[in-house]
Amino acid sequence: MNNKFYIHIVVLMLIQLFILNNIQVNHYVIVNIYILAIFILPFNICRAILPIIGFVLGLIVDLSIGTLGINASAATFIAFLRPQLIKLSINQPSINESELKRFNNSWSFLKYILISILIFNTIFVFIEAFSFENILNSILRIILSSVTDTILISIYYFIALKENNNKF
Partner 1 sequence: MKEIFNLILRFQSTLIFFVLEIIALCLIVSNNDYQNSVFSDKTSAVSGFLSKKSISIINYLSLKNENLSLIKENIKLKNELDNIIITKEDTLFQKFNSTNYFYRTANIISISYNRSRNYIIIDKGKKDGILPEMAVVSNQGIVGVIKSTSNNFSIIIPLINLSLKISAKIKKNDYYGTLQWGAKNYRYSNLEDIPFHVDVNKGDTIVTSGFSSIFPKGELIGFVEKVEHKTANFLKIKVRLANDFKKGGSLYVIENLNSDEINKIKKNNEQ
- C-alpha 73/C-alpha 22 separation (Å) is 21
| Sequential DSSP letters for 82-133 | HHHHHHHHHT-SS--HHHHHHHHHSHHHHHHHHHHHHHHHHHHHHHHH-SST
What is the sign, positive or negative, of the torsion defined by CA atoms of 54, 57, 59, 62? negative
# residues near partner 1 by CB under 8 A: 22
Nearer to partner 1, 58 or 117 (CB): 58
Question: At its nearest, how many Å lie between partner 1 and the CB of residue 124?
Answer: 11
What phi, psi does 117 have (nearest 5°)?
-65, -40
80 forms part of the interface with partner 1 (CB under 8 A): yes
Q: Which of 34, 39, 77, 156 binds partner 1 (CB under 8 A)?
A: 77
Position 76 contacts partner 1 (CB under 8 A): yes
Which residues, 6+ apart, have CB-to-CB distance to 52 below 8 Å?
none
Closer residue to partner 1, CB minimum distance, 50 or 118? 50
Q: Which of residues 2-61 bind partner 1 (CB under 8 A)?
A: 47-48, 50-52, 54-55, 58-59
* Interacting positions 112-141 with partner 1 (CB under 8 A): 127, 130-131
CB of 63 to partner 1, least distance (A): 10
How many CA atoms lie less than 13 Å away from 53 in the CB half-sphere? 25
Given the rule CB under 8 A, which of 16-24, 65-73, 110-118, 145-153 is the region that contacts partner 1?
65-73
Indicate whether 70 belongs to the interface with partner 1 (CB under 8 A): yes
- Specify whether the backbone of 91 is left (phi greater than 0), alpha (psi in -120 to 50) or beta: left
> Where along the sequence are the contacts to partner 1 (CB under 8 A)?
47-48, 50-52, 54-55, 58-59, 62, 67-70, 72-73, 76-77, 80, 127, 130-131
